[in-house]
Amino acid sequence: MKKTRFPDITIERLEREDTGLDVAVIGFHKTGDRGHGELTVSLEILDDAVNLRRKLLGAGAPLNDIDAASLKAELVARLPSKAGRLFTTGGWKKVDEVPVFVLGCEVLGASDNVTCRSLPVRRTADGECAGTLAQWQAEVAIPALSSPITAITLLASFAAPLMAFSSLNEGFIINLAGRSSAGKSTANRLAASVWGHPDQHPSWDSTARSLAELGAASSDMPLILDDTDQNSDVAPAKRLLALFKAVDALAAGQGRSYSDAVQSSLPDLQFRCIGLSSSPETMEAFSRRTKLRRSDGHRVRLLELRVPDGENGGIWAMAGHDAAAGRVASDSITAAARASYGCAGRAWITYLLENETSLRAEVASLTDRFVRRIAPEAGGVQGRIAHKAALLYLAGRLLSRSGIIPFKKGQAREIAGFALREFVAVAFETPAGVEPAMRRLSAAVAELSWAYSTTSLRTVRVDPLPAGILLNDEHLYLREEKLAEIVGAAAEQSLLELIKERLQTAGAFRRGGSRSTKTLRLGTPPRDRRYLHFDVQQLRSAIAPRFNPPA
């Protein structure tokens, strides 16, 4: 009797990341020339030959001429004794103390000595590729840098893998808030195109467990969720409430814990998350309108950017586009992102793997540099926001160094600084009098003659300037009563303190230690006088925020 030829079937022994149990991954060529197929089973099922054969036949394995006993004997004989790794979540891992990165169904950086696999990720497109990196750079990345909104979402997408090397103990979600047709979804599609197809990202219309599973699958990558308008709840308040409730869990990187009885099917989840979403109004406005109490911790975890109305150019307004030009820009860059995607994320992870040993020190150094430069006196809640904005800055610096995105000198700091100012401005309600006061300060500074420039404070020409003002290229000194006079807050000390706090957060106001003023010895004979100290460049930016796109 002619011996039946055993089909070309492979079997691997892998240890599951979530349960620690070994499983067998059986690979085969599907019947009817339908390509490669796989079946993952517990090792116990190898003893149940009949059931195993039935499962493999259902998965398309060519076993019609193989009986259950022969199948079992052959697979057990081929099963390796050494277990590889089967990862069930994405992001940074270590295999024999060597760092690897799980991107979709692939494990980047894995050694040939250890088998490493990843389970397919549902409802995300991380790891899919199309087009070329050069196409994506020219047609997506460079045009995106012309708008601060799209530049920020792009930097946030690249910043996600850097969280593992930072001192941050929680993630955050960046929410784009604005009316429909402002281009919010376009901005998030561009961020998604770094890692995969720009249209394939999950929805807020999910259970808390489902969102946690998505966060774990996208750990160390951006979790990009669609507009809360897509949530199936009819009432807009319910859609925004879903966002409100999900923020803390996603930023903390933990799903709800379940009892030991269901741990095999609902294991505890831990992950690192930078999320991107959009909504028709800011969470701050929604919480005030609905009298929903919002904590400072929530403000640190949900950072928001206001998007101009579409009729004013939407996400492209600060690039100088009107409504028509904005629609053209969105259509063009969306088409480009759908044609070229996924290549940038792979190139980025490859660069980070090659430089992994120096990343932690580099991230700490660049974070410290950004915070000292942009928000040196920011503490508490605003300091925590500053450290998260710093992640955008260091992503830009490293992207420029890697050649993936050619930022101009200072451009990454400018984008991250703009983001920080907007995050803080939206997070904290501004009393009615602050904005008019800031406009008066802007007008007053504009009227000052910048001709009195010198490198030394001692040679500042005081006489031509109004009393109580000292000025050179880098520094502006104001008597406190002069600032109150300029902004019209002479009778409102609380308003003056709010203005100083806002300028301090923007890195423009430099406190004199525990006091808000610094002592200068001036005049003849010399007299000690106390002045408020401002950084000229940061002050110009803070009181009249401008975004300068690349030429």
Over 9-55, what HEC string results?
Answer: CEEEEEEECCCCCEEEEEEEECCCCCCEEEEEEEHHHHHCHHHHHHH
* 106: its two tokens: 């692939």
Q: What is the helix (H) or strand (E) element at residue 94, kind and residue range?
A: strand 91-95
Q: For residue range 125-167, list pLDDT tens digits in order.
A: 567 899 999 999 999 999 999 999 999 999 999 999 999 999 9
The C-alpha angle with vertex 305 and arms to 291 and 226, in degrees rounded to 5, equals 85
pLDDT of residue 452: 41
From residue 337, how far is each of 97, 118, 140 by CA, in Å?
36, 26, 6
- Three-state DSSP at 417 gives helix
Amino acid 532 reads L
Q: What is the DSSP letter of 169?
A: S
For residues 362-385, give the mean pLDDT: 88
Q: Which pTM does this prediction carry?
A: 0.74
pLDDT of residue 507: 74
For residues 90-112, give the mean pLDDT: 88
Q: What is the helix (H) or strand (E) element at residue 127, kind and residue range?
A: none
Name the more confident of 329 and 437.
329
Mean pLDDT of the chain: 82
Is there a contact between 75 and 11 (Cβ–Cβ < 8 Å)?
yes
- What is the full DSSP assignment across 272-333? --EEEEEESS-HHHHHHHTT----HHHHHHEEEEE---GGGTGGGGGGT--HHHHHHHHHHH
Residue 483 CB contacts under 8 Å (≥ 6 apart), including other chains: 441, 489, 496, 499, 532
- What is the full DSSP assignment across 420-472? HHHHHHHHSPPPTTHHHHHHHHHHHHHHS-TT---S-GGG---TTSPTTEEE-
Is there a contact between 457 and 510 (Cβ–Cβ < 8 Å)?
no
For residues 393-421, give the mean pLDDT: 94
- Nearest-angstrom CA–CA distance, 531 and 457: 13
pLDDT at position 325 over 90:
yes
User: In this prediction, what percent of the chain has a pLDDT beyond 70?
Assistant: 82
- Nearest-angstrom CA–CA distance, 482 and 467: 8
For residues 476-483, give the mean pLDDT: 85
For residues 478-498, give the mean pLDDT: 77
Buried b (16+ CB within 10 A) or exposed e, 527-551: eebebbbbbbebbbbbbeeebebee
- Nearest-angstrom CA–CA distance, 403 and 396: 11
Q: Of 39-53, 253-267, 273-287, which one has max mean pLDDT?
A: 39-53
For residues 312-329, give the mean pLDDT: 93
Residue whose structure tokens are 């946690």: 212
CA-CA-CA-CA torsion sign (357, 361, 364, 365): negative
pLDDT at position 259 over 50:
no
Name the more confident of 346 and 243.
346
pLDDT at position 296 over 90:
no
pLDDT of residue 454: 40
Tell the burial category of 485 from Cβ atoms under 10 Å away from its Cβ (0-12, 13-18, 19+). middle
Is there a contact between 467 and 531 (Cβ–Cβ < 8 Å)?
no
Is there a contact between 506 and 541 (Cβ–Cβ < 8 Å)?
yes
Q: For residue range 46-98, list pLDDT tens digits in order.
A: 989 999 999 999 999 998 888 899 999 999 999 999 998 998 888 999 988 89
Q: Which long-range contacts (CB under 8 A, 24 or more apart) does 16-21 make?
A: 16/86, 16/88, 17/85, 17/86, 17/87, 17/88, 17/89, 17/93, 18/88, 18/89, 18/267, 19/263, 19/264, 19/267
Predicted confidence band of residue 432 (pLDDT cuts 50, 70, 90): low
From residue 344, how far is each of 79, 150, 276, 354 by CA, in Å?
37, 16, 18, 15
* 518: its two tokens: 């610094």
- Nearest-angstrom CA–CA distance, 290 and 301: 20
State the number of CA atoms in the 13 A half-sphere of 359 facing the CB. 22
pLDDT of residue 235: 56
Is there a contact between 203 and 304 (Cβ–Cβ < 8 Å)?
no
**Residue 64 Cα to chain centre, angstroms:** 51
253 in the Ramachandran plot: left (φ > 0), alpha (ψ -120 to 50) or beta? left
Q: For residue range 217-236, list pLDDT tens digits in order.
A: 888 999 888 655 554 444 55
Reference 392, options 421, 420, 365, 362; nearest CA is: 420
- Nearest-angstrom CA–CA distance, 250 and 245: 10
pLDDT of residue 266: 52
Is there a contact between 162 and 101 (Cβ–Cβ < 8 Å)?
no
For residues 357-363, give the mean pLDDT: 92
- Nearest-angstrom CA–CA distance, 463 and 144: 47
Reference 508, options 424, 431, 426, 428; nearest CA is: 424
pLDDT of residue 453: 41
